[in-house]
Chains A and B, each alone.
Chain A
Amino acid sequence: MIVKISMRNNELITYLWAALFKCGKLAPAIVLQLVVTYTAFAQTDTTRHLKEVPVTATPAPRLQTITPVQQIGNKDFARYSAFSIADAVRNFTGVNIKDYGGIGGLKTISVRGLSTNHTAVLFDGVQINDAQTGQIDLSKFNLNNVQQISLYNGQPQDLLQPARSYASASVLSITTIRPMLTSEKPYQIQAGIKAGSFGLINPYLQWQQRISNNWQMVINGNYTKANGRYKYKVDGDGSDTLATRKNGDVQSLQTDAALYWNKNDSSKFNIHINYYNAKRGLPGAVIFYSESQGQHLNNNDLFIQAGYQRLWKNGLQLLLNSKLSQLKTRYLDSPYFNTKGFILENYRQREAYQSVALAYHITNNWDVSYSADASYTKVDADIDKYAFPGRLTILNVIASSLKLGRWQFQGNLLNTNIHETVEKGTAFQQRSVLSPTLMASVQPFANPDLKLRAFYKNVFRAPTLDELYYFASAERTIKPEFVYQYDIGATYSKNLNGVLQYITITTDAYYNNVHNKILAIPNRNPAVFSFSNLGKVDIKGIDAGFKTQTIQQNGWSMLLSTNYTYQQALDVSNPENSTYKQQIPYTPKHTLALNAGINYKQAGVYFNHILSSGRYYAGNNLPEYFVPGYAVSDASAVYNFIKGKTPVQASLEVNNLSNKNYSIIRSYPMPGRSYRLSLQITI
């Protein structure tokens, strides 16, 4: 085989290249290949009960936190024409969703110019971990069962949380719907169906049941099937006809059962069992003059997660979380010109996780906490010369928060230990890394509307198991990646009595300094693909957001939110490189997201617009490597009514209103205009 291009594993190299082009952020597509993913759940959409709609004044969203936070609740998903979590968070400031297009296409989140590995995704407070790829595909998370999604820069400000929540540059937290049933109506069933473009059919069901005074239960089921086809225009091959994206079919089943126990709110327990099964075609990159050659990915994931929280009168709080998970991935590339005629790879990642957190309220203004997490991950794969790594990670955190007049201070120190075992090669070890975080906020005037905040956070990222061992023919010496995050910002939030109910303005300026950035280094010899620490990146940016909502007048109300992101992310690895001081790949300098809506009684019409400036797909910022910017709009309409005695919600969503031909990742065209119709009843 040779080299120059070709390889042993087509996909592998493909991915590798993709990775490279992203400046070493692990190739998205690798994820597709290997990924393991977790799951998502099921069911039901918003719980917008008609009787509840009326007239409560909406207070300003709570944004004046010590670290920046952005939130979206289940009532808002339709406003953003969102189908998956990736769609729901793409308007957030500082967020760059890398979307490979289509309903089954990989969607990962990058926050403030950092690779996706630096964003932890939490499911009801417990991290969805993928030690193998370090990336979570957000397209797999259906919104039907989601109550709220929050994105924290730095970390959530709670002291009582698992140590893992302290360990990333940012945290994307997904909270599922919890039953709030009374003895008069001890159950609630929501059933719905979404259907539309790409041959999408998505029926779902949620059953909430009150079992006793203390016990409640939720079961979700969600089935998605789509052929994934859409028309797109190929740029650059001289053709002017539309082609059809093929082999993007998806079939998935997500189920989640949860039990909640609650005693006087001083002690709570919950347990989830979650199963996800998906079969997907991977359409791959659009290659000029060539039809897509089929690759397929199957996922089979199961996890059980339990949490217990206890609050004592003396101010002591305890939080226990446990999780067992298994992610199975099967990747098929056929036809392939080896003796077998195809490539078939199976991966199994299993993890056991235990977390203990203790918080103590020493005085009115002083809290301390301690958290310890232990996890053990084992990856098995039937690929050539695999190392079969096992990784034991132990995290310890002490944290404290102190309020002094108008000042609030918070700080923590995280200690990370990693011990690995391998059957082949040398295992990665990491003894005792200390990562400090310091945060402060102040209310400068007597009026509480304006607050200032700042944080410094040091983030340690261990290499993923793929970076260390995936086709590691040659031994790799990879150092962990470090990010030094600095943020300073202001929030202004005012509840008003006029036509507007409130306005909020937030703005943060940040500086992220990445050291030892892990980069995938290709080699001519396809058997060798190596990773090493070459990179240094300086990221300077501004996040700004504005949000307002009118009061309801004669049944009418309006809302508006807009977010702006500026990112300058420069490669400062080596002054001798041609990429020195050039913007890293796939990082737009300017992004503007606007969302506006009008509600009239039980109906609403919403409009969403995203504008991204151009980006480069290579480290050389040359015109030939430019990916043009884009502006896309979505619109949706929601109508709630009562049929007989049954509340019904109907909605229509249109994505890419102007049928714009664009792509976020080169060679992965995004779909043109598409439609989705949803109908949901609540019993």
Chain B
Amino acid sequence: MKQFQLKTILGAAMILYVLSACHKDKINPTPEVPETGVYVLNQGGITHNNSTLSFYSYASKATTPDIFSAVNSRGLGDTGNDAKIYGSKMYITVNYSSTLEIVDARTIKSIKQIKMVDGATNRQPRYVVFDKGKAFISSYDGTVAVLDTATLTIDKYIKVGRNPEQMVISNGKLYVANSGGLDLSNPDKTVSVINLTSLAEIKKIDITNTNPINIAADAYGDVYVIAYGTDYPAKPTLTIIDNNTDAVKTTADIDAGYGTSFIVNGDLAYYLTDAGKVKVYNVKTQTVVKESFVTDNTSIKVPYGIAVIPETGQVLVTDAVDYTNNGKLFAFNTDGTLAYSFTTGINPGAIVLLKK
């Protein structure tokens, strides 16, 4: 561990040195770090300020456990929830610190930290998506912030439903899952539709089941929403919305684990179950085509985050293990066998692919 850190620090120092040199001369553009790999955003434990960003290098197969603080000499803060790369930058939402951290996607050097506050009240940012130079950030205060990725300033807050979570862009519109999850006995049950030209909410779709969290879209005009209901055990349903009419087409039960992402890759979608399985769903036929993607004896204790590498079809799944100690990431080949795995930080929630 110490060695890793040392390496990180050395690496970071070199990068910093090079960067600062560039700054002074303003001659060379930032040199490309030729590495590709996987970032994992670890939430850490609430109130522990120990959200970290792990980086796994495909080339060296080594993991750098906390690259953000190694590079920036400060921590990410409390409970990083979502991270995505757009252009050359990575955008990280940090829920309890209520910040949006904008960093260079390759060096992780901080470019800007935006405090997501409304007066003295933390907005609590959750997820981020992008469209045509704009970043959209959902926050628990019932808003979606619109950030200009050129100026890195927030131009507008669009009011949506209660405690919005995941968002997806489909057919020129932004769909927002309004969970209302902070009202235990009375969650929300709507999906907000935002017109990406007018940047205004044009409709709230009633999806009947309460507590929608996860949302995705396919190439055939369907928007998929997973809602978890009010009671425990959760009764998750998959609602399909037509992105032309914004009407609900169907709603059916689904054995999705609480809060799992629904990752669409071409005709297939992947999601996690509470039993630790990775299921494969066909978005054309609307049926589950594989009950268990994993074909070897890899055991995932607490499936937490999922991502698919579009080019290779590899499926990456994180394991929170016991929610309090370091987690793991498992990468599976297309045949469901384990390709590699590495140790992450606490509660590895979001997976980000760093491409060339």
Contacts and interface: CB of A to CB of B under 8 A. Distances in A.
Given A1-B187, A7-B182, A17-B47, A337 B304 contact: no
A337 B78 contact: no
The range of chain A's interface size is 35 or more
A447 B159 CA distance: 83
Interface in B1-37: 1-2, 5
Contacts, number: 188
Contact of B232 (A237, A290, A474): A474
Interface stretch (B168-176, B217-225, B242-250, B319-327): B319-327
Interface in B314-339: 320-326
Given A525-B234, A578-B325, A6 B140 contact: yes
Interface string A2-21: 11111111100110011011
B338 to A, nearest CB: 17
B47 A4 contact: no
A290 B98 contact: yes
B64 interface: no
Interface stretch (A78-86, A297-305, A620-628, A641-649): A620-628
Contacts of B121: 293, 335
Interface in B31-79: 43, 45-50, 52, 65-66, 69, 72-79
A1 B165 contact: yes
Interface in A511-550: 521-528
A222 to B, nearest CB: 32
B115 A8 contact: no
Interface in A1-60: 1-10, 13-14, 17-18, 20-21
A236 interface: yes
A423 interface: no
A238 B47 contact: no
A619 interface: yes
Interface string B94-115: 1111110000000000000101
B129 to A, nearest CB: 16
Contacts of B77: 237, 287-290
Nearest to B257: A524
A184 interface: no
A525 B259 contact: yes
Contacts of A661: none
B280 interface: no
A618 B259 contact: no
B182 A1 contact: yes
Contacts of B148: none
A20 B325 CA distance: 10
Contact of B49 (A14, A18, A236): A236
B90 to A, nearest CB: 18
Contact of B98 (A5, A289, A579, A622): A289
B258 A525 contact: yes
A200 to B, nearest CB: 26
Given A5-B81, A525-B232, A289 B182 contact: no
A4 B257 CA distance: 12
A21 B187 CA distance: 29
B324 A21 contact: yes
Nearest first, the 7 A-B pairs at minimum CB distance are A1-B181, A238-B74, A285-B47, A473-B232, A3-B259, A288-B77, A525-B258
Interface of A: 1-10, 13-14, 17-18, 20-21, 236-239, 284-291, 293, 335-339, 384-385, 473-474, 521-528, 577-579, 617-620, 622-625, 666-667
Given A20-B323, A288-B78, 18 more contacts: A3-B258, A4-B81, A5-B81, A5-B95, A6-B79, A6-B95, A8-B184, A10-B182, A17-B324, A18-B47, A20-B45, A337-B163, A339-B186, A525-B258, A527-B184, A619-B322, A623-B1, A625-B50
